[in-house]
Structure 1
C-alpha cells in the first residue's frame, strides 16, 4: 500500500492535466492518462515513489525488502558466473507493449555489457534478452506481476520474462513471445534446476532461494 503522505506529495507535484485519487491505499487517475502525461508525472514524482504505466493503468512499484535484495543478488551472481559478457541491470525503465506505450520499471533487465549506454529514462526493448520481476508483499502483485507485466513484456517481444514468485516459492519462466502472449510458461519449485531458454541459454541452481522463503 502507498503511504498517504507519498500520495499527497505526488498529487501536489502532478501536472495540471493529471488528476489523481487515492482508493484503498492505491493511486489511480480520474481520466485516461496519455503516455506524455505519464512521463511528465513520473519526472515530477518524489524520490520515494517509482511509477509504472502498465496496460493503460498507473501503478506504483512497491519498495523492496531484505529478502528481495538477497534474491536479486543471488541471480546477479548466477548470471555473471555463467555469462560474464552480460549484465543484469537493476530497476531499468523499459518501453513495453506492442505499441511501446507501456512503461515498466523492471527489477532487472538482462543484456550485453554496456547495452544501456546513452539510453534515457525509458529504453526500447530491442537487445534486452530477459526481464526479471521478484514479487513483493503487496495487494497489486497478482495483477501487476502475473498478468499485466507478462502481457507488456510479450508485446514488446522480450524473449524471456523471469518471475521469482515469493508467494508460491517458484521460479516461473515465460518464453516464446507471440501475438502479445508468452506461449511457454513453466513453473519450477525453489531448489530445482531451472533451464532458461535461448537467447539466454543457461541453467540456474535455485537451492539458495530456499533460504529466503518467507
Structure 2
C-alpha cells in the first residue's frame, strides 16, 4: 500500500469519542444547541407540521445519507450525532413521562444540571411562626385552653399556651425531590439503551457510565 493509501486508511478509521449518556446529552443540547422536534398533539391535524426529526433520521440512515443540521442554529452547523440524540430524547415513552420528561431531560442537559435531590437535607422541627422585637426573636404561641390554678390563696383562670411547630423541609418534599431524581435517572437509562441499540451515531460512542442511581443511599452508607 502506498503512503497516500495508508494515510487515507488511517483517516477513515477515526476513533469515536466514548462518553456516558449524561455527558452526551450535555454535549448535544448545551454545546451543539440541538433542539427537540416534538410531535404535534394527538388532537391536532398533522398537516403543515411535516415529519418528525426521528423519522427523517431513520429515512436518511436507510438511504445512507449524511444528516445535515443547523436549522435551529441560525446558519451554524448542528452535529449529526447531536441530532440523533435529540431525536432519541424526543421519543421518550409515556411510561417514563413522555414529552414532559423529554423536555426536562433536554433542559437539564442544556443547563448542565443534575436534578436537586436535596443532599444533606434533614427535616427539622421549627416554630410555625416567629416574632421579633427589641428582645430578639421568639416563637409565636396560641391559646389552646384554660386552667384553674390556686395562686396566693385565690383561684384564678389562666390561659394554656402552646407553640405550633412544623417540619422544614417537610419529609414529603425531600421524598418528592428524590422521586424526581429517580424518574430522571430512568429516563437517562432509556436514552442510553436507545442510543446503543440504534447505532446511528458516527463519532460518539455511548459507554455504560450512568449517574448514581440513589446517591442519598451512598451518602448514608459512607456516614456509617
TM-score (norm 1): 0.25
Q: Which has the larger radius of gyration?
A: 2
More strand by share: 1
More helix by share: 2
Greater RCO, 1 or 2 (C-alpha within 8 Å, sep 6+): 2
TM-score (norm 2): 0.24
